[in-house]
A = this chain, B = another copy of it.
């Protein structure tokens, strides 16, 4: 482990050097330079003082919009909860394929799976959306218990997940940023109500915006934080105490 010219850690992992924080996916000189410059600009816009600021920064990074930090909402310390779940190698369960595709393949050993594709019979029988049915089906199988539950696209998946939590399921952490004009904001509000009542850690946003890229970015941030815990840069105790 060495540091770069800005004093940030450079990890040597399997013989390949990469700048850990900025982007675990950046592996070439150009990509690392871009990732580093990009996070420098984001950090000018989002001062890093508390754990949730890492998610605020990631929201700005993922959307390209400095205002997005003010749209983020947090419940029950999602950063240490998400990092702990990554360190415990809990599954990351996304609503749709696109969000799954956005989850980094590096820095974790969590199984990454998607809900969509399950529950086809339930959807056909009831007329509910395929994503909602898929969440209910996976929940029946116990998949969401202590998992990293991610909804980036489908409001009805977020509503189904809220129902599951209300009925006793306890994800390790919830990431929910479905986008759109119908039920998106409402589904996130419903999730906030439920995670508040049952003490489930969660990160969501307000408003109609959001989407798969944002959800994947926030989830990847848990992986980055877990890497920092692994390297001794921070600890879960410190994060739980509200320190970076």
Contacts and interface: CB of A to CB of B under 8 A. Distances in A.
Interface string A127-167: 11110110000000000000000000101100000000000
Interface string A41-75: 11000000000000000000111110000000000
Dominant secondary structure at the A interface: helix
A30 interface: yes
A134 to B, nearest CB: 11
A180 B98 contact: no
Nearest to A36: B182
A182 B37 CA distance: 7
A231 interface: no
Given A41-B182, A212-B212, A213-B179, A207 B64 contact: yes
A38 B212 contact: no
Nearest to A209: B64
A27 interface: yes
Interface in A186-234: 207-213, 216
Contacts of A98: 98, 101-102, 212-213, 216
A179 B41 contact: no
Oligomer: number of copies: 2
Contacts of A37: 181-182
For the side of the interface on A, what is the size category?
Answer: 35 or more
Among A26, A61, A101, A216, which residue has the most Cβ atoms of chain B within 10 A?
A101
A219 to B, nearest CB: 13
A32 to B, nearest CB: 9
Contacts of A208: 64-65
A80 to B, nearest CB: 27
Interface of A: 26-31, 34, 37-38, 41-42, 61-65, 96-98, 100-102, 123-124, 127-130, 132-133, 153, 155-156, 179-184, 207-213, 216
7 contacts: A29-B127, A34-B156, A62-B211, A64-B208, A97-B101, A212-B213, A213-B213
